[in-house]
Structure 1
Amino acid sequence: MPTYRDEAVVLRTHKLGEADRIVTMLSRRHGKVRAVAKGVRRTSSKFGARLEPFMVVDVQLYAGRSLDIVQQVESLGSYGADIAGDYDRYTAASAMVEAADRLNENEANPDHFYLLVGALRSLSRGEHADGATMSSYLLRAMSLAGWAPALGDCARCGSPGPHDAFVSQLGGTVCARCAPAGSPRIDARTLELLRALLAGDWAVVDAAAERELAAASGLVSAYVQWHLERGLRALSHVGGKR
Structure 2
Amino acid sequence: MSLYRDEGVVLRTQKLGEADRIVTILAKRTGKIRAVAKGVRRTTSRFGARLEPFTHVDLQLHTGRTLDMVTQAETIRPYGEALTADYPRYTAGSAMLETADRLTHGEKEPALRQFLLLVGGLRTLAERGHEARLVLDAYFLRSLAVAGYAPALDACAKCRAPAIRAFAIVAGGVVCGACKPAGSAVPAAETIGLMTALLRGDWATADASETRHRSECSGLVAAYLQWHLEHGIRSLRHVERELRERTTTVPASIGSDTAAHPP
Place the TM-score, normalised by the shorter chain, in its bin: over 0.9
Q: CA deviation at 1:162?
A: 4.6
Of residues 22-31 and 87-96 in structure 1, the stretch that sits farther from structure 2 once superposed is: 87-96
User: Which residue matches 2:118?
Assistant: 116
Name the SS of the counterpart of 1:5 in structure 2.
strand
Alignment gaps of 5+ in structure 1: none
SS in 1 for 2:22: strand
**Partner of 1:76 in structure 2?**
76
Q: Contact (CA 8 Å) 2:83, 2:89: kept in 1 or not?
A: yes
User: SS at the partner of 2:170?
Assistant: helix
Asked if 1 retains the 8 angstrom alpha-carbon contact of 2:188 and 2:213, the reply is no
Q: Which runs of 5+ in 2 are unaligned?
A: 246-263
**1:130 alignment counterpart:** 132
8 Å Cα contact 1:149/1:172 also seen in 2: yes
Q: How does 1:28-67 map to 2 (within 5 A)?
A: 28-67=28-67
SS at match of 2:178: coil
The correspondence of residues 57-206 of structure 1 with structure 2, limited to 5 A, is 57-106=57-106, 107-159=109-161, 161-206=162-207
1:143-199, Cα deviation, whole Å (9 max, x unpaired) = 00000000011112222x251300111111011111123421122211110001111
Helix, strand or coil for the counterpart of 1:198? helix
**Which runs of at least 4 in structure 1 moved beyond 3 Å after TM superposition?**
none
Please give the secondary structure, in 2, of the residue aligned with 1:237: helix
Output the aligned Cα RMSD. 1.3
Separation in 1, partners of 2:171, 2:234: 22
The TM-score with structure 1 as length reference comes to 0.96
**Aligned partners of 1:210 and 1:82: how far apart in 2?**
25
| Aligned 1:218-237 pairs, distance under 5 A | 218-237=219-238
Aligned residues with identical type, % of pairs: 55
2:43 counterpart letter in structure 1: T
SS of structure 2 residue aligned to 1:163: coil
Q: Which amino acid aligns with 2:158?
A: R
CA distance in 2, matches of 1:62, 1:213: 45
Once the 2 structures are TM-superposed, how far is the Cα of residue 103 of structure 1 from its aligned partner?
0.8
